[in-house]
Amino acid sequence: MLTQPISIDSRMRIPIDRCTNPRLDAEAVANFKLSNVPSDHLYIAEYAHKEWRKERIAPYRPLQLTPLSLGLHYAQQVFEGMKAYRMNDGRVGVFRTDRHAQRFNASLRRMAMPEVPAEMFANAVHTLVDLERDWVPPGPDSAYYIRPFVIATEERIGLKPSEEFMFLVGGGPFRPVYPKPLRVRVERYYTRAAKGGTGFAKCGGNYAAAMLPTIEANEAGYDQVLWTDANEHEYIEESGTMNVMFIINDVLTTAPLGDTILDGITRDSILVLARERGITVDERSVSVTELRERILDGSLTEAFGVGTAASVAPITTVGIDGQDYNLEIKPDAVMFSFKQQLLDIRTGAAPDMHNWMTIIDGYVK
């Protein structure tokens, strides 16, 4: 669902305590020396007595937390990952804030945490980006990465759902994490997500549980795990922090959404663009057996990951039961046309037909 842009007059002004000695400088950002470095400000709101309050933006600094914060022990934690882009005309735009707010709240509900009203979420993100607009780097693969998150802060030893939380938004200049084509290994033992579990939520625990399997895949020479279903380890789900797509006989094929799949906003955007271009889309589970056969008979021509971090990441090798299957990556591949189309929308080179971009202007006086 598209939300109407909030008029500037109806926006709540967030109190800002400006940073007086910036940690980053514009030249460093432009010269692309920085990646995953937090920028100068942090947005914070606190939840207690069943309401969000004390919204503010302050210089980036360590938090004060009681060591007995429930979130540190029982992983009541949820996050988002989204980006602001430097457009060709110099303006700054944020991609699909409304969808990120929606997914944030779906994750929060699953983790028994209070929702953040979509307008509050949007205002927090957009105000922070407006304040930090100088840190939004130019260039096709660069962006300002935005990290909204909520943590449980109530002090307590015993297990219970927290009644106190912090909502924070930070960010920083970013360059892509998957510059090279990926080697992925089909996971036949470990499970990322099971029916009824938390796979669809962007909650910290999911990623902690994926680290050991990923390290083992790395040690075997792969970049990422290609996750399979929890029951049979036979149906492809997704990979790392990316949804996975295949082109099979010219059909764009990807796993259907459900409670084991993260509802990726890049995934959704590419499916919208593909359907508009008349490309057939099939949201269905692909088995490992089918994957192997279709790579071998040449009907599977492309495999790629899609996510905010890398946008589109080509997969060059799929490891299945100790055997590597290779895919040729052609410059005129369909995946690159999606990547270009997304880039054009984000930079303003193509019209934003779906109102995916919010132009950031006037949030900070």
Sites of contact with ligand PLP (CB under 6 A):
81, 202, 238, 241-243, 262, 264-267, 307-308
Nearer to ligand PLP, 46 or 259 (CB): 259
Distance CA 362, CA 350 (A): 24
Nearer to ligand PLP, 262 or 318 (CB): 262
Nearer to ligand PLP, 16 or 129 (CB): 129
What is the identity of the amino acid at 333? A
Q: How far is the CB of 260 from ligand PLP (least distance, A)?
A: 10
Tokens 């995916």 sit at which residue?
A: 356
Distance CA 357, CA 124 (A): 16
Nearest to 84 by CA among 97, 71, 67: 97
Burial of 121 (0-12, 13-18, 19+ CB in 10 A): buried
Longest CA pairwise span in the chain (Å): 61
Q: Which two tokens stand for residue 188?
A: 């036949």
Q: How far is the CB of 47 from ligand PLP (least distance, A)?
A: 24
Q: How far is the CB of 93 from ligand PLP (least distance, A)?
A: 16
Distance CA 303, CA 243 (A): 11
What is the identity of the amino acid at 49? H
Nearer to ligand PLP, 39 or 266 (CB): 266
Neighbour tally for 234: CB within 10 Å = 16
| Helices 118-131, 97-110: inter-axial angle, 10-degree rounding | 130
Q: Specify the DSSP class assigned to residue 179.
A: -
Nearer to ligand PLP, 100 or 133 (CB): 100
Q: How many residues does the structure list for the chain?
A: 365
Distance CA 235, CA 288 (A): 6
Q: How far is the CB of 202 from ligand PLP (least distance, A)?
A: 5
Q: How far is the CB of 262 from ligand PLP (least distance, A)?
A: 3
Q: What is the DSSP string of 14-41?
A: PPB---SS-SS-HHHHHTT--SS---SE
Q: How far is the CB of 45 from ligand PLP (least distance, A)?
A: 22
Nearer to ligand PLP, 57 or 286 (CB): 286
Nearer to ligand PLP, 123 or 254 (CB): 254
Burial of 337 (0-12, 13-18, 19+ CB in 10 A): middle
Q: How far is the CB of 331 from ligand PLP (least distance, A)?
A: 24
Q: How far is the CB of 73 from ligand PLP (least distance, A)?
A: 23
Neighbour tally for 306: CB within 10 Å = 28
Nearer to ligand PLP, 86 or 267 (CB): 267
